[in-house]
Amino acid sequence: MPRLDNSIDIRAPADKVFQYISDPATQPEWVKWAKESEATSLEKQGLGTTTSMLMQVGPRKERVETIVTEYKANEYLARRNTRGMEMTDRLAVVPLGDTTKVAWSIDYVPPMGALGKLVDVLFMVRLFDQLMKDSLALLKQRLESAR
């Protein structure tokens, strides 16, 4: 199972950063592969929250569903896909004075079995990593310009 880890420092308070990244409705604004995202549970944030997302990595679009498996307000959240591509991601925010570090890790299983593993080695892992970095840069831009 490939794992990707990236982080970025953002000049914004940790609570503001966490509120934004933990809201499913904002994901298409900053997550490069999120084309649509909405909460499907009554609660919009917190442990057990479920979402539906249209995700695109490369040419393939796929509807995925997630559940929040770990949650501590203003600190971290983890989600696991329950439908679609097998993936878990974890976002953590760490206050550092007047900035906030956002650390993001993703574990995933390439789709399409053995062929998917080959495609992952040749293409997908680099694309996914770049999309992650671009997403964090977009997050930084959005939150720092909203001050």
Report the pLDDT averaged over residues 106-131: 68
Residue with tokens 């001050």: 147
Kindly state the percentage of the chain with pLDDT values over 90.
Answer: 73
pLDDT of residue 91: 98
Sheet of 3-10, strand order: 3-10, 99-108, 87-96, 76-83, 60-72, 50-57, 34-39
> What tokens appear for 56 in the block?
């695109």
92, pLDDT greater than 90 = yes
pLDDT of residue 110: 67
How does residue 9 score in pLDDT terms, banded at 50, 70 and 90?
A: very high
pLDDT of residue 58: 72
> What tokens appear for 82 in the block?
């329950």
Global confidence as pTM: 0.88
CATH C-level class of 3-145: alpha beta
* Alpha-carbon distances of 40 from 70, 80, 107, rounded to whole Å: 17, 14, 23
